[in-house]
Structure 1
Amino acid sequence: MEKRAAIYCRLSREDDNLACDEVSESIQNQQKLLCEYAKKNGFSVYCMYVDENYSGLDNTRPAFCRMIEDARCGRFDTILCKNQSRFTRDMETAQYYLNEVFPLWHVRLIGICDGVDTNDMKNLRLRQINGLINEWYSEDLSDNIRQILRDKMMRGQFIGSFACYGYTKDPAHLHSLIPDPPAAAVVREIYQLYIDGFSLSKIASLLTKKQVMPPCFYKIQHGILFQTPFSKNKITDEADGKIPKWSASSVRHILTNPVYTGTLIQGTTKKESAKSKKRIKLSSTEWIIYPNAHPALISEDIFCEVSSLLQKRRKKNKKV
């Protein structure tokens, strides 16, 4: 009877700091190692499933989910991984699939480098120990990364994926922000217009009329895959050939962001746990605030003046 195997490879950012003698974790080397094992042991490869830049604690990995569905449908009878941690670093997930589900589906998992084989009941304890160690590793790694990022924030280094509108990352120092001249000019104009008496919606209409690209579209136009809460519901003008519109909320976001005074505010949220993707908002007393971290686009005085005007106009509108 033909032995059909799925090959599963995974690499994540948690592997970026591997020592030189551990480079074998790379996707290409995992594939080569597993294909050689399959050939040597008489397996025909049904499919190769690869997840790159996904944590071993993430159970929504696309290739992993496809492989699990194919296993459920009986499309292969064996899964080959370099080791159990490539399959998952989550102890509960390992227990669920390796000891409960796979036996029901008649699917075998082999970790060719750590001796894991679900057909061998003698190494059940090994699988349990591996699951525990792998989970501890991820938790320790998560703590270490969190501390490294916190240290960077404490030194005034920018750790975000994208610079906010008006700035760009300094090519020479990626943890520093420098003004992006075209967008910086728009930011200054927005502040001046508000001081001159323009409302948020009036400023948004004026910028749209001048065909100034809103922040999210501006970044996309410059080759950055970017999304903010304001870009989820894209506001377009059907009659004007779908020219992106500015919104009052986008204008308000710019007028209330201290980053334009040169101040970095980071560490405002944290992950619920190493396993969870959910983020919890922190109290403002826990934020990391670093003044003069980068060149200011507007002065502290102008920012305070605008903040005061925003409050006054909000109160006035409530009375009306």
Structure 2
Amino acid sequence: MTLSNVPVPLPQAAVQQQGLRFAFYGRVSTEDNQDPAASRAWQLRRARGLVEPKGGAIVAEYFDVDKSRSIPWARRPQASALIEALKNPVRDFDAVVVGEPHRAFYGNQYSLTFPLFEHFRVPLWVPEVGGAIDPANEAHDMIMGVFGGLSKGERNRIKIRVRSAMAAITATEGRYLGGRPPYGYELIDAGPHPNPAKAADGKRLRRLVPHPAYSLVVKWIFAQFIGGRGYFDIAEELTRQGVPSPSAADPDRNPHRVQVAWSKSAVRVIITNPRYTGRQVWNKQRKDEVLLDVDDVALGHTTKLRWNDRAQWVWSEQQAHEPLVSVEDFERAQAILASRGRGPTTHKPHRSRRPYAFRGCLHCGYCERRMQGNWNNDQAYYRCRFPAEYALANKVVHPKVVYLREAEIIEDIDTWLVTAFSPARIKATIEAMTAQATGTENTAATHLRKQLATCNQQLNQYRAALNAGADPAQVAKWINEAEQERARLEGELKTVPAGQAMSSDGLAELLRQTGELAQAVVRAHPDDKADLYAKLGLKMTYYPEKKLVEAEVIPTSTCANGACPRGDLNPHAP
């Protein structure tokens, strides 16, 4: 693109006569704890207050929601769309206005972004300079650089204050700071929040109490481990006895986890969790910002969770909840771990990220678990090692390792996607989906049935706790509450109406959009394919014995199915 093809901006003196068309850019993130609608409104109001008195009008808006200011413009959806619009010589705006530079620019982002505005000769207006930024004005450049530094400093100060407050609250109060409760505990109300403003909003404190059934399991695990049994031995015994694993105990939060058996890692997590001693512990992990690409610093950072040394953990000074094991037994278990060469703080750093195109999309046909990426001989493979990680007391038939090479299927999968969702096949796909819709179960009814299954599971657990010696009065109360909840759910299930199918026009539009996304997936760079496959709703199951990959695309609320043999992944082609 030559600069001669790009419109040249009018001088500011001509704004009153002809009026500039402006594109507005703003941003809000969850870190700001602010309503996106309110934030957009005041930023837009500030931008209009700058351009409208000078005859300008805002004709386009680009507003990023839920994106941290530390993310560069190229990785913000709306900011990157604005940059693409700058490159268009027939764009529908003449200039860009930013309502709040603190929200738009962070660190050195201004110095990396403004040259694009200069190159395409699009003025950038900000309230702090009273109009358009003058590239030749050193004061303007200095002001914008200061705003980027202030924005970065503000974010860093917030992080320091929050971390310091959490450390102090953990050490002095032992307050529960959020997250899911450890296996063996459940959460109960602990009164109003001490902050008056949060208490007025209805926020309340919570604390951990032992679960009537699972707390006994945790005590048994520690006793068996200290007695000399290993991870697999314990996992096999728990699976054989039908004790729900942590994932099975909370299936709504763990739909992606294997729930048919205990894993050795689940046993190890319990053995190494210090909160079973009754103390609250914080700062076991930290978030580090790591360069996304060391060869392109402008792409910014990505956040990585890293384990801290045990000396950096923050422990509550007093017991915060009822312990399930003594401090002595916990330390004895850690000593046993260390003697086996697998101590609680020997965490290996994560390897560098590889471009696995089917990350999170490929499942094992034996155990239905997601297959893990494995880089071998400079190629992407996917593997499932179920027998090496999970107990086999449930008689799951599974090879030692299931392997699949990405290069064997990726071209055929892309070919199938383009063919299956081509415009010529939309009518045939709608007819097939309509024929299958008769047996489709109502989503609300399915959700209620899952809740009923959870109630029944809880009742069995409470009865098991009663047999194990738990307080009869307390267990009876829990049983009555679960039975009341079950009766309520059964009543709601009877009133759920039958589901209604989407109209043919709606299906056609949905399939058209899915086809456009499929085309984008095929053209995408390998590093971007994984995210696009996920947006497309691609799910694949690999059956090694049949040498078959079964592919399924679920675009929002409907799905298109196709069975794809490894040798011919395009059975629907005309």
Q: TM-score, normalised by structure 2?
A: 0.42
Aligned partner of 2:65 among 24, 48, 51 = 51
> Gaps (5+ residues) in structure 2?
1-6, 8-19, 192-204, 291-300, 342-574
More contact order relative to length (CA 8 Å, sep ≥ 6): 1
Answering whether residue 219 of structure 2 is matched by residue 188 of structure 1, we say: yes
Q: How does 1:64-213 map to 2 (within 5 A)?
A: 64-73=76-85, 74=87, 78-88=95-105, 90-98=106-114, 100-112=115-127, 114-115=128-129, 119-121=133-135, 122=137, 123-155=140-172, 156-172=174-190, 174=205, 176-194=207-225, 198-213=229-244
Distance 2:177 2:25 in 1: 35
> Gaps (5+ residues) in structure 1?
17-24, 237-242, 316-320
Deviation at 1:131, TM superposition (A): 1.8
**Between the two proteins, what is the percent identity of the paired residues?**
19
Aligned partner of 2:71: which letter?
A: D
Matched with 2:27 is 9
Deviation at 1:80, TM superposition (A): 4.1
Matched with 2:15 is none
Matched with 1:19 is none
CA separation of 1:307 and 1:126: change in aligned 2, threshold 3 A: closer
Deviation at 1:27, TM superposition (A): 1.9
Cα RMSD for the two superposed structures = 3.8
Deviation at 1:303, TM superposition (A): 3.1
Aligned partner of 2:321: which letter?
A: H
Do the aligned residues in 2 keep the contact of 1:261 with 1:303 (CA within 8 Å)? yes
Distance 2:124 2:35 in 1: 20
Residues 116-166 of structure 1: CA deviation (Å, up to 9, x unaligned): 755444533321222222222222222222221221122123335333222
Residues 211-269 of structure 1: CA deviation (Å, up to 9, x unaligned): 544324544x25x479xxxx8xx5x4xxxxxx443211210221232211112332344
Distance 2:98 2:249 in 1: 43
Give the secondary structure class of the aligned counterpart of 1:171: strand
Do the aligned residues in 2 keep the contact of 1:51 with 1:61 (CA within 8 Å)? no
Deviation at 1:84, TM superposition (A): 0.6
Do the aligned residues in 2 keep the contact of 1:167 with 1:177 (CA within 8 Å)? yes
Distance 2:274 2:168 in 1: 21
CA separation of 1:268 and 1:300: change in aligned 2, threshold 3 A: closer
Answering whether residue 261 of structure 2 is matched by residue 245 of structure 1, we say: yes
CA separation of 1:66 and 1:182: change in aligned 2, threshold 3 A: farther
Deviation at 1:295, TM superposition (A): 1.0
Residues 198-221 of structure 1: CA deviation (Å, up to 9, x unaligned): 4311221233344544324544x2
User: How many equivalent residue pairs?
Assistant: 284
Deviation at 1:4, TM superposition (A): 5.9
Distance 2:71 2:104 in 1: 10
Do the aligned residues in 1 keep the contact of 2:287 with 2:306 (CA within 8 Å)? yes
Distance 1:244 1:79 in 2: 56
Deviation at 1:10, TM superposition (A): 0.9
Matched with 2:315 is 289
CA separation of 1:299 and 1:103: change in aligned 2, threshold 3 A: same
Distance 2:233 2:122 in 1: 63
Deviation at 1:48, TM superposition (A): 4.0
Distance 2:241 2:122 in 1: 62
Larger radius of gyration: 2
Distance 1:198 1:285 in 2: 28
Matched with 2:273 is 257
CA separation of 1:306 and 1:104: change in aligned 2, threshold 3 A: same
Do the aligned residues in 1 keep the contact of 2:108 with 2:149 (CA within 8 Å)? no
